[in-house]
């Protein structure tokens, strides 16, 4: 077996694969997140792929929980008293792969057909799903957003698919000198020493941007397409409601929901958040930055 450690936002996890699997070739986006010092850390979860041994059988114990079809393919989630089961087939592929995880997401065993041309994407997608749930009890939230870095702070743009998150990030990069992309689909926010931080991840949608960057959050804007550019500051419950839809959590797991809500409440108390109704033009970037910085002044006061 081969063992690998990865560090995303300070969350170190282990991937164990059979000897015939070249993880570096299968998961190229994970390269910047490699962590090599096995002696200094205890992984907070272990993900085993095709390592042999006893694997749970899928049987009547497992009850259907949810199904989704997105960039990760077709994903079906099942639950038993003490485990989750994930079945996944990628894109237009008929091959189905399966993983079993304990309810704490500490130990995960996956069976992936390596003959599948999408085997790397399947493993990456499974890791994305497991990671997003495993970090919740530790104060982390995986969010559907595009994130940029400017003046030592990260700014996250959230919204429904197709609302222009990537476009808005590109406008910031064009408008402001020194602004750069951190992640274009799935950054992580978390709390470190009382400060809300954001990090890049190996999952960046269709944009190959896999930066191991961790910086404080300067602001979060939920985007909505509109005929004029207008920013509205959110406070309290408004902030919570606008950020919640972009957070990754198993909706029928009450324990994870409550823990994620606690972290999100802390984010809403500490970070400037607003709704940016916008056109896909450069003025939207200027207005959004200006209003987020004004909000930041109000929070600090």
Count CB atoms within 10 A of the CB of residue 139.
18
pTM equals 0.93
Domain locations in the chain?
A: 2-134, 140-300
The string of DSSP letters for 240-264 reads HHHHGGGB---TT-HHHHHHHHHHH
Q: What is the pLDDT of residues 210-236, one digit of tens each?
A: 999 999 999 999 999 999 999 999 988
The answer as to CATH 3.40.50.300 being correct for domain 140-300 is no
Give the whole-angstrom CA distance, residue 223 versus residue 170: 14
| DSSP letters spanning 80-126 | -SSEEEEEEE-TT----EEEEEETTSSEEEEE--TTSTTHHHHHHHH
Q: Are 23 and 1 in contact (CB under 8 A)?
A: no
Tens of pLDDT, residues 21-78:
888 899 999 999 999 888 888 999 999 998 655 567 788 899 999 998 876 678 999 9
């Amino acid at each position: 077996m081969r063992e690998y450690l990865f560090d995303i936002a300070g969350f170190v996890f282990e991937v164990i694969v059979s000897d015939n699997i070249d993880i570096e070739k299968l998961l190229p986006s994970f390269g910047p997140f490699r962590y090599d010092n096995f002696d200094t850390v205890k992984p907070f979860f272990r993900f085993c792929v095709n390592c042999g041994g006893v694997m749970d059988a899928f049987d009547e114990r497992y009850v259907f929980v949810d199904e989704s079809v997105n960039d990760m393919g077709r994903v079906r989630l099942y639950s038993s008293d003490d485990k989750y089961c994930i079945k996944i087939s990628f894109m237009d592929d008929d091959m189905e792969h399966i993983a079993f995880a304990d309810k704490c997401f500490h130990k995960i065993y996956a069976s992936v057909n390596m003959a599948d041309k999408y085997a790397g994407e399947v493993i990456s997608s499974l890791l994305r799903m497991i990671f997003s749930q495993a970090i919740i009890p530790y104060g982390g939230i995986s969010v559907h957003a595009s994130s940029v870095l400017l003046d030592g702070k990260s700014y996250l743009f959230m919204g429904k698919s197709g609302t222009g998150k990537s476009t808005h990030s590109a406008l910031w990069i064009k408008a402001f000198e020194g602004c750069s992309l951190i992640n274009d689909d799935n950054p992580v926010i978390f709390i470190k020493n009382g400060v809300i931080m954001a990090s890049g991840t190996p999952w960046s949608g269709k944009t190959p941007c896999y930066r191991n960057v961790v910086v404080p959050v300067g602001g979060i804007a939920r985007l909505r397409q509109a005929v004029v550019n207008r920013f509205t500051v959110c406070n309290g419950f408004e902030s919570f409601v606008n950020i919640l839809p972009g957070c990754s959590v198993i909706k029928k797991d009450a324990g994870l929901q409550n823990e994620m809500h606690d972290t999100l409440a802390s984010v809403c108390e500490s970070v400037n958040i607003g709704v940016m109704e916008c056109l896909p033009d450069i003025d939207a970037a200027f207005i959004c930055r200006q209003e987020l910085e004004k909000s930041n002044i109000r929070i600090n006061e």
